[in-house]
Structure 1
Amino acid sequence: MIIRLFLAAAIAILVCSCKDAGTEPSPAPASPDTTHTWPPYIVRKPNIYLYPLQKQWTSVEITFPGGGKVLESDPPYGAGWLVEADPNGLINGKFSYLYYEARVNNLFQFSSGWVVRQDTLADFFSHVLQSAGFNDKETGDFLEYWPPRLTSSPFYLVYPQQKEDLEKMIALRVTPAPDVQLRLTFVIRAAVTENAVLNSPRLIKAVRHGFTLTEWGVVIE
Structure 2
Amino acid sequence: MKRVLQILAAIVTLCVAVAVVLVVVHVVEQRTQKAYKPVLYLYPEQERTMTVTLDLTGTLDTVYPAPERVTSVDGRTRASWTVGAARDGTLTDTSGRTYPSIFWDATMALPEPDAGFVVSRDDAVAFLEDKLAQLGLNEREAADFITYWAPRMRAHDYTFVSFDASAYTRRAAYSFADAAGEAVTPDTFIRVFMSIREADASTVAEPQILTPPPPRSGFTAVEWGGTER
* Contiguous gaps of at least 5 residues in structure 1: 1-35
Conserved in 2, the CA contact under 8 Å of 1:115 and 1:194? no
1:200 aligned to which of 180, 201, 208: 208
Size of the aligned set, in residue pairs, is 182
In structure 1, the residue matched to 2:110 is 106
Q: Does 1:75 align with 2:65?
A: yes
Query: Could you tell me which of 97, 103, 112 is aligned with 2:101?
Result: 97
String of CA shifts for 1:169-189, please: whole Å, max 9, x gaps.
111112222111100110101
Aligned amino acid, residue 118 of structure 1: R
Larger fraction in strand: 2
For residues 209 and 198 of structure 1, the distance between their equivalents in structure 2, rounded to whole angstroms, comes to: 33
1:144 aligns with one of 126, 144, 147: 147
The structure-2 alpha-carbon separation of the partners of 1:125 and 1:38, relative to structure 1 and needing over 3 Å to count, comes to: closer
Using the TM superposition, give the Cα deviation of residue 119 of structure 1 relative to its aligned residue in structure 2, in angstroms. 1.2
- Aligned partners of 1:136, 1:187: CA distance in 2, in Å? 21
Report the equivalent of 1:177. 185
Moved more, 80-89 or 172-181: 172-181
Counterparts in 2 of 1:201-216, with a 5 A limit?
201-216=209-224
Residues 117/38 of structure 1: CA separation in 2 closer, same or farther (3 Å cut): closer
Greater radius of gyration (CA) = 1
> What do you get for the CA RMSD once the two structures are aligned?
2.0
Q: Could you list the runs of 5+ residues in structure 2 that have no partner in the other structure?
A: 1-27, 71-79, 178-183
Distance 1:83 1:125 in 2: 30
Q: TM-score, normalised to structure 1's length?
A: 0.76
The two structures have a TM-score, normalised by structure 2, of: 0.73
Which structure is higher in helix share? 2
- 2:131 — aligned with what? 128
**2: CA distance, partners of 1:58 / 1:126:** 31
Report the secondary structure of 1:168's partner residue.
Answer: helix
